[in-house]
Structure 1
């Protein structure tokens, strides 16, 4: 049995992992899918706007309060910056970090700046969600897109403006796994991490899917998550 903590991306919440969670639970694993502060079922917690460290504490405190150890901590999309920051606080409880179509900024980098200069925007800005177009991602059924659109919520800008903290010796030693989607549109920050991995010769996995792989290919994703356990 493996303990999984699965962290959602921008505009989403714990619900985005529901199909993967059911598969992992049915296979006998222990699974947690927290919603980060201000997101999902915690979307009412908007003042003050969460920072990157707020999100790191959301995750680290969950591991401590539930006394979770040997955790596989996965983050989808913007959830990648949350798990990377959390690893600085709870590395001793982690077995593996999994970046699912997600960036892993280097220490001192800001996620918002991975693709170029950042406009001068207020830190307390919340970015409104754009409804998904069913035609934009054929890997998602129209019913799934409608279900998602009913749940999308604004995302705080501040965590993506905060620099990634320095690694600790323990957090740097946590094994990493990287999973990318073949049909993610250009311009997503995960592409920067993908190019860096290619340059370094670091192994990674691909899933034939659009960006929301946890909903479009939950079985394939669950299989990759458990492959290293």
Structure 2
């Protein structure tokens, strides 16, 4: 049995992993889909102080409260920022694997803003009236809500090299309509022997558009 902690991308709650979590549990694994502070059912907590550190604490707090060890952290899109920071800050025994789902893979000092293209940056600055959050795009799930802007701008500070993480996987969505901001990271990682990479014929929302491929990859990671 493995334990998966599932982190959504921008504007999405843990609900985006409902089907995947059910499939993992039916095969004997534990699955914790998380909603990050300020989003979805936690949108009432949105404010100027909600940033990347807040979201990393959301994950490390669950690892501690549920006494999870040997977790596989799975992050979609923006969630790559969060799982990287959580793996760095949590005690080594808490995390054994990282799976990035068409996601950013940051280093020390990177922000989501610095890692994406100008097209994504134009989206980020389309903020709600408070100025605290980026609006969801029109084609998102109707349940999508605004996303805390500070979490996209704050640089990630890493204290180590994540050498204790024994398995790292990258799942690339090869079916974008137009340029994918994640192509450069996929091309870099697929030549790195310390990574296992997968290219899936899917749009960016892998959970919705390629659920069986994604389930197979996570079961292999387990």
Q: TM-score range by the shorter chain?
A: 0.7 to 0.9
Determine the structure 2 residue equivalent to 1:130.
137
Determine the structure 2 residue equivalent to 1:215.
208
How far did 1:173 drift?
A: 3.1
Distance 1:56 1:72 in 2: 15
Determine the structure 1 residue equivalent to 2:158.
166
Determine the structure 1 residue equivalent to 2:82.
82
Q: Does 1:2 align with 2:9?
A: no
Cα distance change, pair 85–124 in 1 and its aligned pair in 2 (3 A): farther
Q: Does 1:72 align with 2:65?
A: no
SS in 1 for 2:25: helix
How far did 1:186 drift?
A: 4.3
Q: Is the 8 A contact 2:14 2:34 kept in 1?
A: yes
Q: Is the 8 A contact 1:103 1:191 kept in 2?
A: no
Matches within 5 A, 1:1-229: 1-90=1-90, 91-115=92-116, 125-132=132-139, 149-169=141-161, 171-174=162-165, 175-198=167-190, 200=192, 202-229=195-222
Cα distance change, pair 216–52 in 1 and its aligned pair in 2 (3 A): same
Cα distance change, pair 37–97 in 1 and its aligned pair in 2 (3 A): same
User: TM-score, normalised to structure 1's length?
Assistant: 0.84
- 1:100-137: CA deviation from partner (whole Å, max 9, x where unpaired): 000111211121112457689699531111221xxxxx
Distance 1:107 1:195 in 2: 20
Q: CA RMSD of the aligned region, Å? A: 2.3
How many residues matched?
A: 213
Larger deviation, residues 67-76 vs 40-49: 40-49
How far did 1:50 drift?
A: 1.3
Unmatched segments (≥5 aa) in structure 2: none
- 1:182-218: CA deviation from partner (whole Å, max 9, x where unpaired): 1124454423321322454654101111111111221
Distance 1:72 1:79 in 2: 13
